[in-house]
């Protein structure tokens, strides 16, 4: 089946099985390996990308559900945020400044979830953050995540 996707602003037409998880299409077919496989059951959030602006866990999303959609992965986050080419988005810069990543495995999904939250709610409360960001960070950097969010929302 032919699937049409626009990923990070680039159109793609792919001949893949419609039930193939979007995660594997992004990683294996398009070579965008920033989106990670964590649990395979949409619990951890390592595979989060934006589909038409909505944070979506791709390990359980069949590619056919994204046919015709605009997808942003971690590789395209800075550009979508208006950062200069090769630069970081304000959120990514705050992530670095607050030294959020430890092992880094969950970070692409966490950044995508937080950026979707901030697009919808530019001044989230701690309760809003807790409700929206259900990604799992095994290193426990949640206080740093919150500090980075506060840096961005204070700007």
- The CATH number that applies at residue 141 is 1.10.150.120
Whether residues 21 and 44 share a domain: the answer is yes
pTM higher than the cut 0.85: yes
Q: What is the pLDDT of residue 60?
A: 98
Q: What is the pLDDT of residue 56?
A: 98
Provide the total of helices (H) and of strands (E) in the chain, helices listed first. Answer: 6, 5
Q: How far is CA 56 from the centre of its chain?
A: 8
pLDDT in tens, 124-150: 999 999 999 999 999 999 999 999 999
Contact 91, 152 (CB under 8 A): yes
For residue 98, the surrounding DSSP H or E stretch is: none
Q: What is the extent of the structural domain holding 72?
A: 2-77
Q: How much of the chain exceeds pLDDT 70, in percent? A: 100
pLDDT in tens, 78-137: 998 888 888 999 999 999 999 999 888 999 999 999 999 999 999 999 999 999 999 999
What's the mean pLDDT in 43-55?
97
Whether residues 128 and 61 share a domain: the answer is no
pLDDT in tens, 5-39: 999 999 999 999 999 999 999 999 999 999 999 99
Contact 45, 135 (CB under 8 A): yes
Token pair recorded at residue 42: 């949409």
CA separation for the pair 80, 71 (Å, rounded): 11
Whether residues 99 and 53 share a domain: the answer is no
């Amino acid at each position: 089946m032919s699937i049409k996707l626009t990923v990070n602003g680039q159109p793609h037409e792919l001949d893949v099985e419609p039930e193939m998880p979007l995660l594997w299409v992004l990683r294996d077919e398009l070579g965008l390996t920033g989106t990670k496989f964590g649990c395979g059951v949409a619990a951890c959030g390592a595979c989060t990308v934006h589909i038409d602006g909505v944070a979506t866990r791709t390990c359980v999303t069949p590619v056919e559900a994204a046919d015709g959609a605009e997808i942003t992965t971690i590789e395209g986050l800075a550009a979508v945020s208006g950062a200069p080419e090769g630069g970081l988005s304000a959120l990514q810069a705050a992530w670095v400044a607050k030294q959020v990543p430890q092992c880094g495995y969950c970070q692409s999904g966490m950044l995508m979830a937080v950026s979707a939250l901030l697009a919808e709610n530019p001044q989230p409360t701690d309760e809003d953050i807790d409700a929206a960001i259900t990604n799992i960070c095994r290193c426990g950097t949640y206080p740093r995540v919150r500090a980075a969010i506060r840096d961005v929302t204070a700007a």
